[in-house]
Structure 1
Amino acid sequence: MAEDPELKKIIPRINELAHKAKLQDLTDKEKEERDQLRKHYLKRFKSNFKSQIEMTQIYDKDGKEVTPEEVKEIQRKKNLRDN
């Protein structure tokens, strides 16, 4: 998966706050920021993961496509497949 530039920007701050929390108590403002960043990270991560799964085609060892029909339907709706 290509790196998400938005996640790339917030991860260092999440890590900074996590490191600080191990050394000392965070202020209420920092706790609120940490919680918001975590929520945003998870939302973005899930969205990216879902998109990646929806674009995946699965083949068995004989080369026959065995992508689940539900995924195929999503791909059709997004014009990612012709059949």
Structure 2
Amino acid sequence: MLTKDKLARINQLANKAKTSRLTKEELKEQKLLREEYLKTLRQSFKNQLSSVKIIDPEGTDVTPEKVKHLRTENKDN
């Protein structure tokens, strides 16, 4: 999870980019913050997806193998 300060900085840079040009340093900072944000978002989504279990109407577990693999992968980490 990103800190509130980092999220605020992402928004601050985005708003500044709408009204004026960002400096090279600000562009680099923005890129790094966005990459960190996306990495965190993807990991969070993977964690959420790995907890999904799909059961058909007969009560059989039909969870895709990819999801089952993610579940075991997350347990190892």
Q: Return the TM-score normalized by structure 1.
A: 0.71
- Counterpart of 2:47, as a letter, is S
Once residues 48 and 34 of structure 2 are traced to their aligned partners in structure 1, the CA distance between those partners, rounded to angstroms, is 21
Once residues 14 and 22 of structure 1 are traced to their aligned partners in structure 2, the CA distance between those partners, rounded to angstroms, is 13
Q: How many residues align?
A: 75
1:19 Cα shift?
0.5
Q: Secondary structure at the match of 2:53?
A: coil
Unaligned runs of 5+ in 2: none
Q: Among 3, 24, 41, which residue is 1:28 paired with?
A: 24
1:65/1:33 CA distance change after superposition, 3 Å: same
1:48/1:16 CA distance change after superposition, 3 Å: same
1:48 has 2:48 as partner:
no
RMSD of equivalent CA atoms: 2.2
Unaligned runs of 5+ in 1: none
Bigger drift between 65-74 and 50-59 goes to 65-74
The list of structure 1 runs, each at least 4 consecutive aligned residues, that deviate by more than 4 angstroms after superposition, is: none
Q: Secondary structure at the match of 1:29?
A: helix
Compare the two structures and name the one with the higher helix fraction.
Answer: 2
Once residues 57 and 4 of structure 2 are traced to their aligned partners in structure 1, the CA distance between those partners, rounded to angstroms, is 36
Q: Return the TM-score normalized by structure 2.
A: 0.75
